[in-house]
Structure 1
Amino acid sequence: MNLSQLLLILRAHKKLILVTLLVTVLGTLSVSLLLPKTYKATSSLLLNYKGVDPLTGLAMPGQLLPGFMATQIDIISSKNVALRVVDHLKLAESPAVIAQFNEATEGKGGTVRDWLADLLLKKVEIVPSRESSVVDISFKGSDPQFVAAVANAFADEYQKTSIQLKVDPMRRVSTYFSEQTKLLRDNLEVAQSKLSKYQQDNGIVSVDNRLDVESNRLNDLSAQLVMAQGQSMEASSRQRMAQGSNGMASPDVSSNPLIQNLKIGLGNAEGKLAEIAQRLGRNHPQYESAKAEVDKLRADLREQLANTSSSVGNNAQILQQREAAVRAALQAQKAKVLELNRTRDEMGVLMKDVESAQRAFDVTSQRLSQTRIEGQAEQSDISVLNPAVPPIDPAGPRVLLNTLLSIFLGTLLGVGLAIVIEMLYRRVRSEADLQETLQIPVFGAIDWNANKSPRKKGALNGILPRRLRLR
């Protein structure tokens, strides 16, 4: 079907199209005038919520948080808020409402509050702004005062619900932190008691200072031991030299003034004895006297050498004993320092337990204070920007808009009916229809234009063609 065929069909069924259009427009206009007037009240809310970025810890506007606005819309349109609105307006206490509920449910169960909440949710409309944090809550009804009251009630109860959703978890968290604070306080007291008892049992006032003193003493004993070892080794060497066959080469012997005097006296006596021996015989009294003096000096020298060697040996023994005493003191000091290190380590563990318990207690106490403050703060981040007022002009029905839509739909319906009737009862209205119907080529066409007034031009003109066109 081409455009010319469609125009011929519409021209042939123009009366049907006009009747359909007229019926549609009149029906729509009648219904629009008969429908009761509906009013729409809108309350605008401003959402000032600010969240915290979990990565940076910085506050960011709520509208930038994913799903924030959708969550707020879900809260407003929740049944919890609707039930609070029903209770706020005391709708369930009206006898007329109860009668309507019984008539609508026919005793099938349920409550008046739930029934009213469902009805309110069907008529409430929530529209968020695209470029701001403003949300419009609209409600439609037949009573201007009632729709304004319901819209404002939804805004108020949404604020209260938002506060409750924020405060209730904080109160539960505050209770949990309160219990944890008591437990951590007990743990801290136990850790401090263990540390105090350990200090009392070991007589510890300051481990670090005492350890420093004992470490210094250990270093001093180590230095004394090194010195004592050197002195003992030197004394042992001098003892061996003094008690050896060449005792006179010992520095202790050679440096002894008494031995030196005896050696000088012995040398003089021996020289005198040699001189007397050259002049006198061995039996001469002077020779015997000189020889006796030499023997006495030699005996004194040997005795003094023995005494000196014994003195050197005694000195070596004393130094060895002193070395052993210093070594024993050093070992005891090492054990004492090791014991202090062990005590310090054990005390350090106890102190770390106390510090850990104190830190956990401080953090939990701080968190408890914060949650208590947040749980007691009943301030909302939502404010009413524009409260709903009773509307003056009705929001519906829109007679002009409905009329324009009925004209469009009536025209569309009339054209559709014309096409359907034409398809059911096909007529030949052009050469294309004839060729399409008979499936044969058209040889020629007669342009027949009958005169509507044959009486004026004669009867013959009404049946004769004006033009014959061959194809």
Structure 2
Amino acid sequence: MNVSQILLILRARRKIILLTLLFTVAVTIAVSLVLPKSYKATSSVILNYKGVDSLTGLTLPGQLLPGYVATQIDIISSKNVALRVVDALKLAQSPTVVEQFNEATDGQGTVRDWLAELLLKKLEIVPGRESSVVEISFTGADPQFVAAVANAFADEYQQASIQLKSDPMKKATSYFDGQAKVLRDAIEAAQSRLSKYQQEHGIVSVDNRLDVESNRLNDLSAQLVAAQGQLMEASSRQRMASGQSGESPDVAGNPLIQNMKVALSAAESKFADIAQRLDKNHPQYQSAKAEVDQLRADLKAQTRITSNTVGNNAQILMQREAAIRGALAAQKTKVLELNRTRDELNVLQKDVENAQRAFDATSARLSQTRIEGQAEQSDVALLNPAVVPVKPAGPKILLNTAVAIVLGTMLGLGLGFLLEFFDRRVRSRADLADALDIPVLGVIDWRQSETPRRSSRFNGLFPRRSNLSINS
């Protein structure tokens, strides 16, 4: 089917097409005039999302921001918000509404859910193209009612957004409160163990005590070294004094022995002089000899006494060195015990510090979550409240008429082609050739010519060869 055939069909079926178009437009206009007027109220809210929480100052992840507006739209159109609107406007308490609910649902379900579904069907939410403004529109027959519902949706959405933020914080507050009590008990238990350990070991300040004991250990170590040196020297003097007392510096350096040696030397000189002059039986000889013998005996006795004194000094130094060595060993044991006590005490102190640190962190988080749970702040602000509409939003007669013209035209064309399909007629040479499957040799023009020049009304009985259509 070519364009000329389509035009011939449209020309032939123009009446039915026009009638269909006129009928569609007339019905649309009549229905638009009969339908009740509907009013539309719009409330605008702005979403102040900047990526930073106004209360805690925490920065939100950047990947969450693109879906923020879509999430808020889902919250506005949620059944939770719709139920809040029903409760805020007290729609479920109206006897008329309850009667309508019973008629519509036969008493199945609840009035609140039924009203919420009806409100959501007439609710329209339009986000800004490149802004954070969201328009909440509601359509209905009563202008005051639609304005009230639109404002109620905006208000309840703000309250719902606050609740959605505060409810998790309240649950977290309860959790952190329980954890804080547990950690407080842990601190008390750790502190009790630390105090008991200090009392059992008599520890007031382990660090100061350890410093004193360490200093004492160092002093004993120095005293032991000094005592060992003195003992070695005294042992050498003792050996020399006991072996060759005459050569011992302690014996030789004794003033009494030196005086006795001087006296003995003088007596020996006197005795030698008397021995040359007198016989051994002479009283002076015997007296001088007795004096020499007495001095020698006294010198020997004094030398022995001095040697014994050196030995006694060595014994005293040996005992002192042994005492210092024992004190040093005891002090080492004491310092090691203090180190062990300090290590155990450090472990207990670390337990107290860790418990305190965990308790402080939990207390800080508890304070923050409690503040967030009690906060009534929201990222949503009412930009333009809905006002009572003066002009109805529908039905729009001009728009409906334009749409009816388009639809009527399409319906008329479809109806015309449908009738042509069931009642196909010959409207051109091509139709005749297609129907009979034979070539067309000529066309008879049945229209009367204005200036008849021929007696015959045949026009082009034998057309030119180029106008003949032959089908094999």
TM-score, normalization by structure 2: 0.85
Aligned residue among 460, 467, 470 for 2:465:
470
**Does the aligned pair in 2 maintain the 1:62–1:68 contact within 8 Å?**
no
1:286 Cα deviation (Å)? 6.6
2:5 matches 1:15:
no
User: Partner of 2:252 in structure 1?
Assistant: 254
Q: Distance in 1 between matches of 2:240 and 2:17?
A: 151
User: Partner of 2:76 in structure 1?
Assistant: 76
Structure 1, 339-348 or 69-78: larger mean CA deviation: 339-348
1:87 Cα deviation (Å)? 1.9
Structure 1, 143-152 or 70-79: larger mean CA deviation: 70-79
Letter in 2 for 1:174: T
1:125 Cα deviation (Å)? 1.1
1:49 Cα deviation (Å)? 5.0
1:40 Cα deviation (Å)? 0.8
Q: Distance in 2 between matches of 1:234 and 1:434?
A: 153
Letter in 1 for 2:100: Q
**Does the aligned pair in 2 maintain the 1:191–1:353 contact within 8 Å?**
yes
- What's the RMSD between the two structures over aligned residues? 3.4
User: Partner of 1:189 in structure 2?
Assistant: 188
Alignment gaps of 5+ in structure 1:
none
Structure 1, 232-241 or 405-414: larger mean CA deviation: 405-414
2:339 matches 1:341:
yes
1:347 Cα deviation (Å)? 2.8
Distance 1:62 1:292, change over 3 A: closer
Q: Deviations over 1:350-371 (max 9, x none)?
A: 3333333333333333333333
What SS class does the counterpart of residue 468 from structure 1 fall into?
Answer: coil
Structure 1, 431-440 or 73-82: larger mean CA deviation: 431-440
2:129 matches 1:130:
yes
Q: Deviations over 1:14-73 (max 9, x none)?
A: 3333333223222222222222221111111122356558xx974459996253222222
Letter in 1 for 2:21: L
Distance 1:275 1:430, change over 3 A: farther
1:77 Cα deviation (Å)? 1.6
Q: Distance in 2 between matches of 1:318 and 1:247?
A: 20
What SS class does the counterpart of residue 385 from structure 1 fall into?
Answer: strand
Q: Deviations over 1:79-111 (max 9, x none)?
A: 22212222222222222222211211134x212
What SS class does the counterpart of residue 464 from structure 2 fall into?
Answer: strand
What SS class does the counterpart of residue 462 from structure 1 fall into?
Answer: coil
What SS class does the counterpart of residue 177 from structure 1 fall into?
Answer: helix
User: Partner of 1:30 in structure 2?
Assistant: 30
What SS class does the counterpart of residue 357 from structure 2 fall into?
Answer: helix
Letter in 2 for 1:468: P
What SS class does the counterpart of residue 139 from structure 1 fall into?
Answer: strand
Alignment gaps of 5+ in structure 2:
467-472
Distance 1:61 1:361, change over 3 A: closer
Q: Distance in 2 between matches of 1:372 and 1:5?
A: 81
1:410 Cα deviation (Å)? 2.3
Within 5 Å, give how 1:225-304 maps onto structure 2.
225-244=224-243, 246-264=244-262, 266=264, 292-304=290-302
User: Partner of 2:448 in structure 1?
Assistant: 453
Percent of counterpart pairs with the same letter? 69
Q: Distance in 1 between matches of 2:278 and 2:5?
A: 190
1:127 Cα deviation (Å)? 1.6
How many residues are aligned here? Answer: 464
Structure 1, 92-101 or 270-279: larger mean CA deviation: 270-279
1:194 Cα deviation (Å)? 3.5
Letter in 2 for 1:68: Y
Q: Distance in 1 between matches of 2:37 and 2:432?
A: 55
User: Partner of 2:469 in structure 1?
Assistant: none
2:325 matches 1:330:
no
Structure 1, 425-434 or 44-53: larger mean CA deviation: 425-434
Within 5 Å, give how 1:18-417 maps onto structure 2.
18-49=18-49, 52=52, 58-59=58-59, 65-107=65-107, 109-244=108-243, 246-264=244-262, 266=264, 292-417=290-415
Q: Distance in 2 between matches of 1:305 and 1:5?
A: 165
Distance 1:91 1:423, change over 3 A: same
What SS class does the counterpart of residue 40 from structure 2 fall into?
Answer: strand
Letter in 1 for 2:134: V
1:388 Cα deviation (Å)? 1.0
**Does the aligned pair in 2 maintain the 1:83–1:114 contact within 8 Å?**
yes
What SS class does the counterpart of residue 465 from structure 1 fall into?
Answer: coil
1:267 Cα deviation (Å)? 5.4
1:140 Cα deviation (Å)? 0.8
1:412 Cα deviation (Å)? 2.4
